[in-house]
């Protein structure tokens, strides 16, 4: 009996000794290399392992040092200085389910190439000072010094962080596409393909970002609250490309968005001291919808190409019918502009109740004629101005072929239809313009004045007059609204130097006299777009100078000859 007892005790001691030896051996580099070789030789995974450790002060944790892990032939999914598994009695029935998994000091790769099925899970995934890389379509994310946890952690193939669980993450720095952020905090929940961000905040581009939002299974977003303040952002993208990632989302429904004191700058465009409030608007595939939305913004400066608005203030109300312009005021080219009106969705018509332009000093772009003939975009078919007022403006054209300048330009108009079926023009309404002084192709005149009345059939210029140095020019004209743009002009001059017309393009076979004359010009032609004017001209110029010399010249198809 004593022998049997000694035998059992000896076997127990040997077993204990074997366990001690195994325990010690497992914590050697040799054991780590053997585990690495077995995994690499017998599975589809690629593993490197520096050392396995266990500390009795944390008896329920097994630590792997200097770990890399991934699928063969794919980018590494994980590289960590320390990987700690928390074990519990649950391992007896579910060996692959751990109480916790802690990753410390490495990189977690969620790029599309890392489509991996992890063979274990945990009640908690804890990240400590980890880097994170992720790519989802056009959205690229790179985070550094990330701390946080996911509960529970149940990874699936293609979803390394799992499809169910609550999470809280903080990051010292994070870059979303080209937008950098620091001191990031994110709290939320994953539910299959639904993502809820109950709270997020960060320092972004010198400012602060806070908010909460939800992403649905189809990739659309519901932004309940988003606030940006004191942002200072520079980008290499154009204004259109800057918003492209948002425009390509299935939809973004915004309950409230606030931007306070922002400065954003890109190539050829900039917003300075920008304040924006947006409520109850859904953006969907380059369009929008809203039942009762509002958009208000103001800035010290808005620059887009050659357009520079100073102190703009805009208040819009958005509905299924369209966009109501409650207020639009800005300083532009040294003057003041204000208007209000409505853009209607069903017919893409912009109706402005009143447009006031005062004190403007504006130089026309060199291609203003081409812009006038350019087709408007799909969203803008018609432009109507019910009331137009201009006061003390300066208008300049520096085109070397025919420069002009209008000084102290005043005007008023009513029921003007300035665009019809996506084409600029004067399609309807009345307009009166006058200036104190003007220069047309380096020839000065005083008190130029114009009055016109437009209808579907024609534009009738009932008054066109100006004083020369000692005389008066008066004219009337009609321009047909058909594509050919046929026009007639009747010009009379009293005590006017006849060679005034030479400055304005008349090229006869004989030079016109410079003496004061009484003259009459009757002219017809076509102002069709993209068609030379001169070959269409026909008419008769006749007059008598102050010394009795008579002049009579005829123009046919653009060629001038002496008429008999």
**Same structural domain for residues 124 and 160?**
yes
**Residue 268 covered by a domain:** yes
Query: Is 516 inside any structural domain?
Result: yes
Which residue spans within 20-159 are E strands per DSSP?
Answer: 45-53, 61-71, 78-86, 97-98, 100-110, 121-122, 125-136, 139-151
Same domain as 492, residue 401:
no
Looking at the chain, the whole-number percentage of residues with pLDDT higher than 90 is 41
Residue 51 tokens, joined: 């050392």
- Report the C-alpha gap between 140 and 132 in whole angstroms: 11
Task: Assign residue 230 a region (left: φ > 0; alpha: ψ between -120 and 50; beta: otherwise).
Answer: left
Distances, alpha carbon 145 to alpha carbons 63, 107, 132, 354, 428, in Å: 21, 10, 9, 56, 65
d(CA 110, CA 538): 75
- Mark whether 362 and 473 lie in a shared domain: no
pLDDT at position 54 is 63
Based on the domain organization, do 222 and 141 belong to the same domain? Answer: no
Beta strands in 72-124 (DSSP E): 78-86, 97-98, 100-110, 121-122
pLDDT at 20 over 50: no
According to DSSP, the residues that pair with 265 across neighbouring strands are 234, 270
CB 258 within 8 A of CB 226: yes
- In percent, the amount of the chain with pLDDT more than 70 equals 89
> Is 70 exceeded by the pLDDT of residue 112?
no
Give the integer Cα–Cα distance in Å for 207 and 204. Answer: 5
- HSE-CB at 404 with a 13 A cutoff on CA atoms is 12
- Listed residues 181, 202, 223: the one ending a domain: 202
Alpha-carbon gap, residue 123 to 503, rounded angstroms = 89
Domain end point (choices 429, 455, 481): 455
Are 61 and 177 members of one domain?
Answer: yes
Structure confidence by residue, pLDDT tens digits, 365-419 = 988 888 888 999 999 999 999 999 999 999 999 988 889 999 999 999 999 999 9
Q: How confident is the model at residue 24 (pLDDT cuts 50, 70, 90)?
A: very low
For the chain, report the end-to-end CA distance as a whole number of angstroms.
Answer: 154
Neighbouring C-alpha atoms within 13 Å toward the C-beta of 512: 28
Q: In terms of DSSP bridges, do strands 382-397 and 349-358 run parallel, antiparallel, or are they unpaired?
A: parallel
Q: Which one has a higher pLDDT value, 547 or 302?
A: 302
Q: Are residue 51 and residue 181 in the same domain, yes or no?
A: yes
What tens digit of pLDDT does each residue of 92-101 get?
777 778 888 8
Query: Which range among 44-48, 226-230, 366-370 shows the weakest confidence by mean pLDDT?
Result: 44-48
Statement to judge: residues 164 and 189 lie in one domain:
yes
Return the axis-axis angle of helices 29-42 and 2-26, rounded to nearest 10°.
Answer: 80
190 and 210 share one domain: no
Sign of the Cα torsion 445, 451, 455, 458 reads negative
Domain of residue 337 covers 321-455
Q: Is residue 24 domain-resident?
A: no
Q: What is the torsion angle, in degrees rounded to the nearest 10, for the CA atoms of residue 285, residue 290, residue 293 and residue 294?
A: 40
Please return the burial class of 277, using the count of CB atoms within 10 Å of its CB with bins 0-12, 13-18 and 19+. Answer: middle
Contacts of 287 (CB under 8 A, 6+ apart): none
Together in a domain, 188 and 51: yes
Q: What element of type H or E holds 420?
A: strand 404-420
C-alpha to C-alpha distance for 183 and 174, rounded to whole angstroms? 8
pLDDT of 224 over the 60 cut: yes
23 lies in a domain? no
| Number of domains the chain contains | 4
């Amino acid at each position: 009996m004593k022998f049997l007892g000694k035998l059992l005790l000896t076997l127990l001691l040997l077993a204990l000794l074997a366990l001690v030896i195994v325990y010690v051996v497992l914590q050697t580099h040799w054991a780590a290399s053997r585990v690495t070789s077995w995994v690499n030789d017998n599975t589809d995974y690629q593993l490197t392992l520096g050392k396995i450790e266990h500390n009795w002060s944390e008896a329920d944790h097994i630590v792997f040092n200097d770990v890399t892990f991934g699928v063969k032939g794919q980018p590494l999914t994980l590289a960590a200085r320390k990987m700690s598994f928390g074990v519990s009695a649950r391992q007896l029935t579910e060996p692959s389910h751990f109480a916790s998994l802690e990753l410390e000091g490495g990189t977690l790769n969620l790029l599309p190439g890392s489509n991996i099925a992890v063979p274990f899970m945990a009640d908690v995934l804890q990240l400590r000072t980890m880097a994170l890389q992720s790519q989802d379509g056009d959205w690229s994310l790179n985070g550094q010094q990330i701390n946080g946890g996911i509960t529970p952690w149940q990874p699936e193939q293609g979803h390394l962080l799992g499809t169910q669980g609550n999470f809280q993450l903080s990051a010292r720095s994070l870059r979303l596409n080209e937008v950098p952020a620091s001191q990031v905090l994110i709290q939320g929940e994953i539910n299959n393909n639904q993502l809820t961000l109950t709270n997020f905040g960060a320092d972004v581009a010198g400012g602060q970002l806070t908010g909460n939002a939800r992403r649905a299974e189809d990739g659309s977003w519901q932004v309940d609250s988003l606030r940006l303040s004191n942002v200072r952002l520079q980008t290499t993208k154009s204004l259109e490309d800057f918003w492209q990632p948002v425009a390509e989302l299935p939809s973004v429904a915004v309950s409230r968005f606030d931007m306070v004191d922002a400065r954003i700058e890109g190539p050829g465009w900039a917003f300075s001291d920008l304040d924006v409030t947006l409520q109850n608007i859904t953006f969907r595939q380059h369009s929008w919808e809203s039942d009762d939305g509002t958009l208000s913004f103001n800035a010290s400066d808005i620059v887009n190409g050659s357009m520079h608005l100073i102190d703009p203030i805009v208040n819009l109300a958005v509905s299924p019918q369209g966009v109501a312009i409650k207020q639009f005021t800005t300083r532009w080219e040294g003057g003041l502009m204000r208007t209000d009106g409505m853009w209607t969705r069903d017919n893409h018509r912009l109706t402005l109740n009143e447009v006031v332009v005062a004190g403007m000093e504006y130089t026309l772009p060199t291609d203003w004629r081409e812009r006038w003939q350019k087709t408007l975009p799909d969203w803008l078919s018609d432009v109507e101005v019910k009331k137009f007022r201009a006061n003390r403006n300066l208008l300049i054209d520096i085109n070397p072929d025919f420069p002009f300048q209008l000084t102290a330009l005043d005007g008023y108009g009513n029921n003007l239809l300035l665009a019809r079926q996506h084409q600029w023009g004067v399609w309807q309404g009345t307009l009166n313009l006058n200036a104190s002084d003007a220069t047309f192709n380096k020839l000065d005149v005083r008190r130029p004045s114009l009055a016109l009345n437009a209808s579907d059939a024609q534009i009738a210029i009932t008054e066109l007059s100006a004083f020369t140095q000692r005389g008066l020019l008066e004219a009337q004209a009609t321009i047909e609204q058909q594509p050919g743009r046929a026009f007639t002009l009747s010009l009379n001059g009293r005590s006017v130097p006849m060679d005034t017309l030479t400055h304005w393009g008349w090229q006869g076979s004989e030079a016109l006299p410079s003496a004061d004359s009484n003259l009459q010009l009757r002219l017809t032609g076509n102002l069709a777009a993209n068609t030379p004017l001169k070959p269409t001209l026909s008419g008769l110029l006749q007059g008598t100078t102050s010394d009795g010399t008579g002049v009579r010249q005829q123009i046919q198809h653009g060629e001038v000859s002496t008429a008999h």
